[in-house]
Amino acid sequence: MEIIGKIIFDLGETSGTSKAGREWKKHEYVLETQESYPRKVHFDFFGDKADQYKLAAGQMIKLSFDIDSREYNGRWFTSISGWKAEPATVAATGAPSSNPLDPPATPAAPDFQAVPPTDLNQSEPNDDLPF
């Protein structure tokens, strides 16, 4: 799966040793989509990917990721694991983008004509409202 957005938080790197004695590390980030209703997505790069993709807050990226859910003590947990990140650009001109993965451009506001106010105290003879 893929998503485009801006890195808003770099949550840092975590490392440790598994029960089997293997060293592990992961680097966590939060990405915000650039839609009308932005979504925040927490994801991580695990193992060698943590060193391969060094991202910074404010960077626009296209993230390729996998979603995995697992059960622990009767509760379910979902994680988003990134496996590739590449720079992304958003069309700032409002013109349609040639990349189908780019978020849609915001349409221009409609051009409205001003309507003169009406006098609410005047009643029209054909007005059938009781007030």
Q: For residue range 38-76, what is the model confidence (pLDDT) as tens digits?
A: 999 999 999 999 999 999 999 999 999 999 999 999 999
The helix/strand/coil state of 68 is strand
Q: Which domains does the chain have, with CATH numbers?
A: 2-87 (2.40.50.140)
Tell me what pLDDT residue 130 has: 66
Tell me what pLDDT residue 95 has: 43
What count of other Cβ atoms lies within 10 Å of the Cβ of residue 73? 4
- CA–CA dist 9, 129 (Å, integer): 57
- CA–CA dist 43, 115 (Å, integer): 50
Tell me what pLDDT residue 131 has: 58
Tell me what pLDDT residue 89 has: 74
Nearest residue to 67 via CA among 91, 83, 51: 83
The residue written with tokens 């975590």 in the block is: 14
Residue numbers in the chain where pLDDT is lower than 70? 90-131
- CA–CA dist 127, 69 (Å, integer): 63
Q: Is the dihedral of CA 7, 8, 14, 20 positive or negative?
A: negative
Tell me what pLDDT residue 94 has: 42
The helix/strand/coil state of 90 is coil
